[in-house]
Structure 1
Amino acid sequence: MTAQYGPHRWSAGVHDDGRNAEHRGASFLVRDLTGARFVDCDLTGVKIVDSWLVGVELSGFVGGLSVNGVDVTAYVESELDRRHPERVQLREIRDADGFRAMWTELERLWSEATARAEALPEELRQERVDGEWSFVETLRHLVFITDSWASRTVLDDPAPFHRLALPQTAYAPADAAALGMDVDARPSYAEVTQARADRGAVVQRILDGLTDQDLGRTCSRTPAPGYPEEDRAVADCLAVVMEEECEHLRFAQRDLAALERRP
């Protein structure tokens, strides 16, 4: 096969509070933005001039990022690939066996991460580091990813969502509730790992029976209400599942390292 399955970008379930576009095209002249936080924002085309960027941290989908006239995008991507070779493995998938091998590697890496988490007390597994999702919340989000991009699309299940599934921050809470998700739930680590194991078994069953011919099959059901109404191939849906697993593993490893440094 010649197709390549790798990182994807999509948007869905945007929580529109009537102010989403109020700063589009805005100029901030001599403004103090110390400590400002931008979450799930579209910063396409943003230009920062004659400003102080000290201790700034960026994460997300990055393309065409220039710092003082130097495009650093390729450097950032290559460094991430060096630190996380599973990203390269994902991009190089060409067939059903490639997806199976990718899932095996992800299960191994997540097993290592959960072992680290289980060495911590429950309160640290529930703690957010610098405002990011806690380890438990990250696992809840991956339950949502499996429900939406594997069960609902590939398996065509119209209502697969676990009560503890946690959609992306921009997904309207009322829409999540209508699908049976309790975004305000505070489950234990044990409860979430059980849901996570159940969803992992769903992915494994799909992969066990997957053939190269299946990869091009069209999935007509959207991952969740609010996503663009368009056909998606099985391969693309599975690639999203595995990309999310890769990226959230990276975030989890980063935050686990911070929690492990606690006295």
Structure 2
Amino acid sequence: MQLNDARMTRVNLSGVEIRGAALYGTRLVGVELSDVVIEGDLGNVVVNGVDIGPLVDAELTRRDPLYGELNPPDAEGFRRAWAQIEQRWADLTERARALPEETLHANVDGEWSFIQTLRHLGFATAAWLQRTVQGDPNPYRPLDLPWDEAPDWPAEWNMPGDRTARPTLEEALAGRAARQDAMREHLATLTDDDLTGSVTREEPGWPAYPDVPVHLALQTILVEEYQHHRFATRDLETLTAGEKED
């Protein structure tokens, strides 16, 4: 749905859920916001004259210092952040291994299941590391899962996207481990000079953007890994809450 440059007055948006939306240059004037939840990237978001983005970043960093390391200034910072992210995922995966397979396929409030999350992270690493940075024109595997609002890519691109697939945890982890290895190996030899470069991918497929900064491509993976670990942890807590009470 395209609502670019729409003008809405005297509208009631109570109970509305908006996903995968682009809100650039948007103005909300004379609104009443209560019980509103926003999950996304904030940049120059001004509420009653206050840019809340830096305030939110400061609070999230206070709660978890790793959040403040997701935009590393140098190659060593990338290696340090990735090592912490990998350890967190290793701990969460061990917890997942002890849960019934059905729990790992369960969705909470329409979000991805644990196994779907692993599949999506494989897609993210394939897209931003293996294709964008390393130049593999088609690094995807059949179980990789793009974001839900991904476009209908041409069939000849052979892009993955079966949300209904139900691989076992071990099947999902096999692809996941290969992508984690690829990221770790790439960061092992990453230099500060590498981070100042940019790449353009014109081969059929996605992503295919001009002049993508290497730093941005690799940072995208850090953010994806961090945020989806947060979401997966939250949802497993919800799914196992009854077990703790027992």
How would you bin the TM-score normalised by the shorter chain?
Answer: 0.7 to 0.9
Distance (whole Å) between structure 2 residues aligned to residue 177 and residue 257 of structure 1? 40
How many positions carry a matched residue from both structures? Answer: 241
Tell me what 1:62 maps to: 42
Measured at CA, do residues 83 and 113 of structure 1 come closer, stay the same or move farther in structure 2, by a change above 3 Å?
farther
Please, what TM-score do these two structures have when normalized by structure 2?
A: 0.85
CA deviation vs aligned residue, 1:176-226 (integer Å, no higher than 9, x gap): 883341423222222111110011111122122223333334322269835
More off after superposition, 149-158 vs 212-221: 212-221
Shift, 1:82, TM fit: 1.9
Please, what TM-score do these two structures have when normalized by structure 1?
A: 0.80
More off after superposition, 114-123 vs 222-231: 222-231
CA deviation vs aligned residue, 1:15-48 (integer Å, no higher than 9, x gap): xxxx323x642315253x3432101112331415
Tell me what 1:253 maps to: 233
User: Which of 169, 181, 193 is residue 173 of structure 2 equivalent to?
Assistant: 193
Tell me what 2:157 maps to: 178
Tell me what 1:225 maps to: 205
More off after superposition, 131-140 vs 205-214: 205-214
Backbone CA RMSD of aligned residues? 2.6
CA deviation vs aligned residue, 1:23-76 (integer Å, no higher than 9, x gap): 642315253x3432101112331415353x443211111234455665543332
> What percentage of aligned pairs have identical amino acids?
37
Q: Which runs of 5+ in 1 are unaligned?
A: 1-18
The reply on whether 1:123 has 2:105 as its aligned counterpart is no
* Alpha-carbon contact 2:137-2:205 (below 8 Å) kept: no
Shift, 1:228, TM fit: 5.6
Higher relative contact order, structure no. (Cα contacts within 8 Å, ≥ 6 residues apart): 1
Distance (whole Å) between structure 2 residues aligned to residue 182 and residue 119 of structure 1? 28
* Alpha-carbon contact 2:130-2:136 (below 8 Å) kept: yes
The reply on whether 1:241 has 2:221 as its aligned counterpart is yes
Kindly provide the amino acid, as one letter, of the partner of residue 10 in structure 2.
Answer: L
CA deviation vs aligned residue, 1:153-182 (integer Å, no higher than 9, x gap): 221111101111111222124448833414
Tell me what 2:28 maps to: 47
User: Which of 99, 124, 127 is residue 145 of structure 1 equivalent to?
Assistant: 124
Measured at CA, do residues 63 and 108 of structure 1 come closer, stay the same or move farther in structure 2, by a change above 3 Å?
same
Measured at CA, do residues 30 and 218 of structure 1 come closer, stay the same or move farther in structure 2, by a change above 3 Å?
closer
